[in-house]
């Protein structure tokens, strides 16, 4: 699929989720969350910074939040494109989708899981991303603002960057949908249209999407940082008496594009053998990450390895 086709696919995926009727409260809440994110993109953001130019870039690291936002973003770009050609005197078929790849930036500061790196590479192809990756030479480790400074030197048209941050992330409670960077950061606008999303909304939409999910989540991880400080979430340990139960049977069974006779399996990416060796060190077993829906426990696996 080229970028136009992927965008149209994401548009249809989003509409299909919005059309679900009479299911769980989580689905109804997620539909509201999607409507608000769409409104931010289509009414507040795109009229000021066109996604069909190079003014907007997307911050992507393969995590679940930014993947959800990427699917919505691509769908909204398609809708924006449709709206822009509607007023034209020529038929839609005479309008070419103006973007071949999506400007995307990956500031990768820490040692990440090999599965995550594989996932970023495979999804970059899948979603036609033109991905800038920050320099990761241990000798000259850059801070996040320095890395963005370098990015902006190479992509000087960038005015705003889309970020998949949520209110429940650390230091995010007071963020705004559109706001400038802090004084000690290079100057651009932060576009944060996912702030109001809860963990349960993320899993509901992502599991329904039937898009590949990074395999590391299938191993009991719920929030992925550096290899050095990320473990499976202890609340998903199968030996716990209070382990959570699955809230998303419907989404998994009726996932987008799935036929009724297909196995109700979750589409997870393959776990890299390097990570398997790392994880099989312990005999503990964990439920997949999407069993956890309590936002306050999402980062319980972010601890120091001894």
The residue (of 62 and 215) whose beta carbon lies closer to ligand FMN is: 62
- Report in angstroms the alpha-carbon separations of 204 from 43, 177, 189, 201: 25, 22, 29, 5
Q: How many CB atoms lie within 10 A of CB 241?
A: 4
Pick 77 or 224: Cβ nearer ligand FMN: 224
In whole angstroms, the minimum distance from the beta carbon of 266 to ligand FMN comes to 23
CB 233 within 8 A of CB 222: yes
User: Using CB under 6 A, which of 97, 185, 250, 256 touches ligand FMN?
Assistant: 185
- Position 182 contacts ligand FMN (CB under 6 A): yes
Nearer to ligand FMN, 133 or 169 (CB): 169
* Residue whose Cβ sits closest to ligand FMN: 181
- Kindly tell me which of 130 and 267 has the beta carbon lying closer to ligand FMN: 130
Please tell me whether residue 56 binds ligand FMN under the rule CB under 6 A: no
Q: Determine which residue in the list 38, 64, 190, 198 makes contact with ligand FMN, applying CB under 6 A.
A: 190
Q: Which of 165, 199, 231, 236 binds ligand FMN (CB under 6 A)?
A: 165
Q: Of these, 163, 195, 207, 279, which contacts ligand FMN (CB under 6 A)?
A: 163
Q: Which of 181, 253, 256, 278 binds ligand FMN (CB under 6 A)?
A: 181
Nearer to ligand FMN, 163 or 271 (CB): 163
Nearer to ligand FMN, 115 or 210 (CB): 115
Give the residue, chosen from 161, 199, 252, 287, that forms a contact with ligand FMN under the rule CB under 6 A: 161
Q: How far apart are CA 36 and CA 192, in angstroms?
A: 12
Nearest approach in angstroms of CB 182 to ligand FMN is 4
Cβ proximity to ligand FMN, 180 vs 257, nearer residue: 180
State yes or no: residue 256 binds ligand FMN (CB under 6 A). Answer: no
169 binds ligand FMN (CB under 6 A): yes
259-278 residues in contact with ligand FMN (CB under 6 A) are: none
Tell me if 111 contacts ligand FMN by CB under 6 A: no
- Supply 5's token pair: 């086709």
Q: Which of 7, 30, 59, 222 binds ligand FMN (CB under 6 A)?
A: 59
Identify which of residues 31 and 158 has a Cβ nearer to ligand FMN in the complex.
158
Count other Cβ atoms within 10 Å, centred on residue 142.
Answer: 16
Q: How far is the CB of 305 from ligand FMN (least distance, A)?
A: 17
Encoded tokens for 250: 């419907």
Report the 3 state secondary structure along the chain. CCHHHHHHHHHHHHHHHHCCCCCCHHHHHHHHHHHHHHHHHHHHHCCCCCCCCCCEEEECCCCHHHHHHHHHHHHHHHHHHHHHHHCCCCCHHHCCCCCCCEEEEECCCCCCCHHHHHHHHHHHHHCCEEEEECCCCHHHCCCHHHHHHHHHHHCCCCCEEECCCCCCCCCCCCCCCEEECCCCCCCCEEECCCCCCCHHHHHHHHHHHCCCECHHHHHCCCCCCCHHHCCCCHHHECCCCCCCCCCCHHHHHCCCCCCCCCCCCCCECCCCHHHHHHHCCCCCCECCHHHCCCHHHCCCCCCCCC
Interface residues with ligand FMN (CB under 6 A) are: 59, 161, 163, 165, 169, 181-182, 185, 190
């Amino acid at each position: 699929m080229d970028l136009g086709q992927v965008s149209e696919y994401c548009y249809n995926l989003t509409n299909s989720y919005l059309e679900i009727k009479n299911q769980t409260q989580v689905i109804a809440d997620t539909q509201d969350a999607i409507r608000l994110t769409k409104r931010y993109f289509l009414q507040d953001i795109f009229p000021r910074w066109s996604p069909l130019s190079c003014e907007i870039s997307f911050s992507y690291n393969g995590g679940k939040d930014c993947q959800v936002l990427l699917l919505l973003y691509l769908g909204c770009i398609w809708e924006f494109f449709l709206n822009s050609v509607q007023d034209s005197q020529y038929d839609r078929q005479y309008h070419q989708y103006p973007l071949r790849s999506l400007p995307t930036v990956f500031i990768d500061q820490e040692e990440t899981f090999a599965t995550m790196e594989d996932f970023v590479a495979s999804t970059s192809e899948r979603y036609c991303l033109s991905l800038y990756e920050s320099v990761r030479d241990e000798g000259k480790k850059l801070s996040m603002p320095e890395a963005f400074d370098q990015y902006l030197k190479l992509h000087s048209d960038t005015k705003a960057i889309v970020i998949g941050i949520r209110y429940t992330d650390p230091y995010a409670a007071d963020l705004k949908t559109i706001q400038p960077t802090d004084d000690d950061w290079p100057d651009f606008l932060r576009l944060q249209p996912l702030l109001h999303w809860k963990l349960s909304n993320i899993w509901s939409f992502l599991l329904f999407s039937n898009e590949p999910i990074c395999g590391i989540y299938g191993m009991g991880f719920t929030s992925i940082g550096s290899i050095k400080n990320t473990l499976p979430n202890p609340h998903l340990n199968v030996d716990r008496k209070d382990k959570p139960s699955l809230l998303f049977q419907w989404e998994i069974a009726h996932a987008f594009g799935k036929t009724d006779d297909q196995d109700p399996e979750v589409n997870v990416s393959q776990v890299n053998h390097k990570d398997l060796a790392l994880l099989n060190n312990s005999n503990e077993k964990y439920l997949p990450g999407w069993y956890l829906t309590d936002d306050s426990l999402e980062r319980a696996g972010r601890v120091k390895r001894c």
